Amino acid sequence: MAPADVAQRVRTRAAQSRTRLLAEFPGDPATGLLFTEPQHEEAFADFANDEPCPVLDPDTGTCDLYAFRPVQCRTFGPPVRDEDDHLTVCELCFVDAPAEEVARCEMDQSWRQQEEALIENAEQQSALFGPTLVAFALAPVK
């Protein structure tokens, strides 16, 4: 499939996903920014858990943006440290694994400073500041 065709399929899936998520979006649906009100972080805990990522090809289950996927996608699953230095894991990974096994698999996050610089640059260029979802980034309001 030609890259332009893949891009159009991703945009179409993103627009469809955005439409499905719009009513319960825990943020500003006009900008796509998450957590614009205090109650949004709590609402996000169960938000869109059953919504497939729009860049996943529904026929193959593979990522159509694999070489360019966001850091969040690249790091989903492995144990990482949160802001409070607690080791966290994806709820679907490491089921019944001993704490030692989880700790052994902790991901090196030395790349975080570079990520922060890239995010800051993107935010300055777009004039949008804060997190969003793939569907809202790829299918903004027109």
User: pLDDT tens digits, residue range 12-54?
Assistant: 999 999 999 999 999 998 888 999 999 999 999 889 888 988 9
Q: How far is CA 48 from CA 51, 76, 119, 120, 134, in A?
A: 5, 16, 23, 26, 12
| Angle at 19 (CA atoms; ends 14, 24), nearest 5 degrees | 115
Which residues have CB under 8 Å from 52's CB, separation 6+? 17, 58
Distance CA 32, CA 114 (A): 24
* Per-chain mean pLDDT for the chain: 86
- The tens digit of pLDDT for each residue in 93-115 reads 777 888 888 889 888 888 888 98
Convert the pLDDT of each residue in 59-74 to its tens digit: 888 888 877 777 677 7
- Model pLDDT, residue 130: 85
Q: What is the pLDDT of residue 37?
A: 93
3-state secondary structure 34-88: ECCCCCHHHHHCCCCCCCCCCCECCCCCCECCHHHCCHHHHCCCCCEECCCCCEE
* Higher local confidence (pLDDT), 142 or 139: 139
Range of the domain at 117: 3-138
Q: How many C-beta neighbours within 10 Å does residue 43 have?
A: 15
pLDDT value, residue 92:
65
Please give the tally of structural domains in the chain: 1
Alpha carbon distance 113, 119 (integer Å): 10
The pLDDT assigned to 20 comes to 94
Predicted TM-score of the model (pTM): 0.68
